[in-house]
C-alpha cells in the first residue's frame, strides 16, 4: 500500500463524517477539508476526474462558508411570562428527548420561580434558557438548550452578552449550573465556566 492511499482513506472518512453533522457550518468545514484531501489524493494517483470533481466540491463548500460568515442574522430575546405558556410547552415536548438527555433533572412544573427566555434568530426559535434564583446574588441555570441547526455558539454568546443587563441590574453576580453530560461540560468550559464545589456538590460557575 502506498502512503498516499491513507490520504484517500482519510478524505473518505471526513466526507462521510461531514454528512453526519447536524450543524451546517461543521458540515461545510469538514466537507471542505475532505474535498481538498481527495483532490490531493487525485493528484498522486494521476486521476483528473477525482481532482476536478473534488476541487469543485471544495470551491462549493468554501463559497457557502463565505456566505454564512457574511450573513447578518437578527437576534431577539423573548421573555416567557410563565411556564404554562403554550409555545413553551410545545417546544419542551418537541425537544424532550434531547432536553432530558442534557438536563436529566429538568422538570418544568417543579420550578418555583423560573426566569424563561427564548432566543430567536431571524424569527426562528433557536435556543431556550431557563434559570431560577439560587440565592440573592446567584442564578442557577436549569436549561441552556440550543436547537440542532443553530449550534454554532452564537446563541450562547448572545444570552451571556445580555446577561449583565438582564440579571446584573437585579443584583445577581454569578451563574451556577450542573453538567451531567461530558459534551455539556465541554461547552460550559468553552463559555468560561469553572468547576466549583457548593455545599458538597459539583457545579460550574461563571460571573455575570
Q: What is the mean pLDDT of residues 34-52?
A: 94
Task: Give the residue extent of every domain in the chain.
Answer: 5-70, 75-207
Q: Measure the CA angle with vertex 122, ends 80 and 82; round to 5°.
A: 5
Q: List Cα–Cα distances, 42 to 17, 32, 55, 57, 80, in angstroms.
A: 20, 15, 10, 13, 55
pLDDT confidence of residue 50: 93
pLDDT confidence of residue 72: 82
Q: What is the mean pLDDT of residues 4-29?
A: 89
Count CA within 13 A, CB hemisphere, residue 19.
6
Q: What is the mean pLDDT of residues 43-72?
A: 92
pLDDT of 54 over the 80 cut: yes
Q: What is the mean pLDDT of residues 18-37?
A: 90
pLDDT confidence of residue 4: 84
Cα separation, 22 vs 151, whole angstroms: 8
Q: pLDDT tens digits, residue range 133-166? A: 999 999 999 999 999 888 888 898 899 888 888 8
pLDDT of 1 over the 80 cut: no
Three cell numbers, residue 160 = 451571556
Q: pLDDT tens digits, residue range 171-194? A: 999 999 999 999 999 999 999 999
The 3-state secondary structure of the chain, one letter per residue? CCCCHHHHHHHHHHHHHHCCCCCHHHHHHHHHHHHHHHHHHHHHCCCHHHHHHHHHHHHHHHHHHHHHHHCCCCEEEEEECCCCCHHHHHHHHHCHHHHHHHCCCCCHHHCCCCEEEEEEECCEEEEEEEEEEEECCEEEEEEEEECHHHCCCHHHHHHHHHHHHHCHHHCCCEEEECCCCHHHHHHHHHCCCEEEEECCEEEEEEEC
> CATH classification of 75-207 is 3.40.630.30, yes or no?
yes
Amino acid at each position: 500500500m502506498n502512503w498516499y492511499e491513507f490520504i484517500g482513506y482519510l478524505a473518505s472518512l471526513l466526507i462521510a463524517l461531514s454528512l453526519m453533522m447536524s450543524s451546517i457550518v461543521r458540515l461545510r468545514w469538514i466537507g471542505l477539508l475532505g474535498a481538498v484531501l481527495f483532490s490531493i489524493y487525485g493528484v498522486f494517483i494521476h486521476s483528473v476526474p477525482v481532482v476536478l470533481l473534488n476541487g469543485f466540491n471544495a470551491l462549493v463548500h468554501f463559497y457557502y462558508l463565505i456566505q454564512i460568515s457574511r450573513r447578518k442574522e437578527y437576534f431577539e430575546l423573548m421573555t416567557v411570562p410563565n411556564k404554562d405558556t403554550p409555545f413553551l410547552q410545545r417546544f419542551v415536548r418537541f425537544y424532550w428527548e434531547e432536553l432530558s438527555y442534557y438536563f436529566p433533572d429538568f422538570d418544568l412544573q417543579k420550578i418555583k420561580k423560573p426566569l424563561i427566555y427564548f432566543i430567536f434568530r431571524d424569527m426562528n426559535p433557536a435556543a431556550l434558557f431557563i434559570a431560577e434564583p439560587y440565592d440573592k446574588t446567584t442564578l442557577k441555570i436549569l436549561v441552556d438548550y440550543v436547537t440542532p441547526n443553530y449550534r454554532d455558539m452564537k446563541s450562547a454568546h448572545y444570552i451571556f452578552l445580555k446577561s449583565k443587563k438582564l440579571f446584573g441590574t437585579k443584583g445577581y453576580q454569578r451563574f451556577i449550573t450542573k453538567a451531567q453530560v461530558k459534551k455539556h461540560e465541554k461547552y460550559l468550559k468553552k463559555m468560561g465556566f469553572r468547576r466549583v464545589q457548593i455545599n458538597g456538590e459539583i457545579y460550574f460557575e461563571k460571573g455575570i
